[in-house]
A and B are shown apart, each in its own frame.
Chain A
Amino acid sequence: MAAERRRSTQARDVVPSVHLGDIRGVHVRELATRFALGAFVSIVAAIISGAVGARLGGVFLAAPAILPASLTIVEHKEGTRKADRDAIGAVVGSLALVVFATVGESMFTRHNPALVLAAALGGWIAAGLAFYAILGLFRPDDCDKQQD
């Protein structure tokens, strides 16, 4: 109760920050697992695209094949609570991914493809930051570093 009261009056620390030293805690096996899953999803999307069409193949470009590995790694290293908060961030990222795809849909065939991919990535970054800011505004406890 006292901790809750303290938290309600304390400012939450929701501003993103970078901690390059944390790279030391990353195991090669974790990266290798994610690399392998990313490679697998890429191959599956390409095979489906070739067999059935680019549109259905495109659905699999947003498949959550990496999600179980990522969340399991986070849970193993940092606990279930952090894995859940990681999933909350993934909701934000996936909404931004809709923006990425929409930019691609509207701009491919009309503009230079390299420009389109850059614009789509920029759209993902901008939307991700905006949606995260909204999340921080309405659910600050979920974004508070002190409660991580």
Chain B
Amino acid sequence: MTDVGILALRALAGGSLVALFALVSEVVKPKAFSGLFSAAPSVAIAGLAITVVHEGAAEARQGSVGMVVGAIGLAGCCVIAVGAIPRLKAFWGSLAAMAGWSAIALGLYWSEFIGGR
């Protein structure tokens, strides 16, 4: 399969799993529990599965290593969103949270894997 084909497959698989988990979040209550599925490993499952088949388990492991950092950043991002949404509303609050993710995740990545080495 060509590189474009692999990318298309990743897009299809990732998008489908995100939509599936979104459907699950719509049918569960309370709202705090349904929010759990906003942070479901949908893109990760699709991405890692295709990585394993196309590039091997070692690459998937490296992806998981990076994902630990990204997930820590995501937790921080969601904490920011909880505080920002009542003040800034959902759209601007979540954009502020995304900026927080960038700072936390990429800052952690830099300090762990690049800085001082």
- A-B complex is real: yes
**Which residues in A have their C-beta under 8 angstroms from that of B19?**
31, 34-35, 38
B111 to chain A, nearest CB (A): 13
Cβ of A90 and Cβ of B38 under 8 Å apart? yes
**Smallest Cβ-Cβ distance to B19: which chain A residue:** A35
Assess A23 versus B23: contact at CB under 8 Å? Given A54-B63, A67-B98: yes
Assess A67 versus B51: contact at CB under 8 Å? Given A61-B43, A85-B31: no
Cβ of B81 and Cβ of A42 under 8 Å apart? no
A136 to chain B, nearest CB (A): 8
**Which residues in A have their C-beta under 8 angstroms from that of B48?**
61, 104, 108, 117
A144→B15 CA distance, assembly (Å): 31
Cβ of A58 and Cβ of B14 under 8 Å apart? no
Q: A-side binding surface: helix, strand, loop or mixed?
A: helix
**Smallest Cβ-Cβ distance to B69: which chain A residue:** A59
A96→B73 CA distance, assembly (Å): 13
Cβ of B98 and Cβ of A64 under 8 Å apart? yes
**Which residues in A have their C-beta under 8 angstroms from that of B14?**
38-39, 41-43
Cβ of B38 and Cβ of A70 under 8 Å apart? yes
Q: B-side binding surface: helix, strand, loop or mixed?
A: helix
Q: Does B103 contact A (CB under 8 A)?
A: no
Interface residues of A in 92-137 (CB under 8 A from B): 92-98, 100-105, 108-109, 113, 116-117, 120-121, 124, 128, 132, 135
Cβ of A105 and Cβ of B64 under 8 Å apart? yes
**Which residues in A have their C-beta under 8 angstroms from that of B37?**
89, 93
Name the contact of B94 in the complex, choosing from A67, A89, A101 (C-beta under 8 A): A67
Name the contact of A101 in the complex, choosing from B17, B23, B71 (C-beta under 8 A): B71
Cβ of B85 and Cβ of A80 under 8 Å apart? yes
A96 to chain B, nearest CB (A): 7
Name the contact of A64 in the complex, choosing from B42, B63, B77 (C-beta under 8 A): B77
A54→B44 CA distance, assembly (Å): 12
Q: Does A18 contact B (CB under 8 A)?
A: yes
| 9 closest cross-chain pairs (CB), A and B | A89-B35, A58-B66, A38-B18, A42-B14, A93-B39, A62-B70, A104-B64, A39-B15, A58-B63
**Interchain residue pairs with CB less than 8 A apart (24):** A14-B30, A26-B23, A34-B19, A38-B15, A39-B12, A42-B13, A42-B43, A50-B3, A54-B60, A54-B66, A59-B67, A67-B94, A67-B97, A71-B81, A72-B90, A80-B86, A83-B90, A84-B86, A89-B31, A89-B33, A93-B38, A94-B39, A116-B57, A143-B32
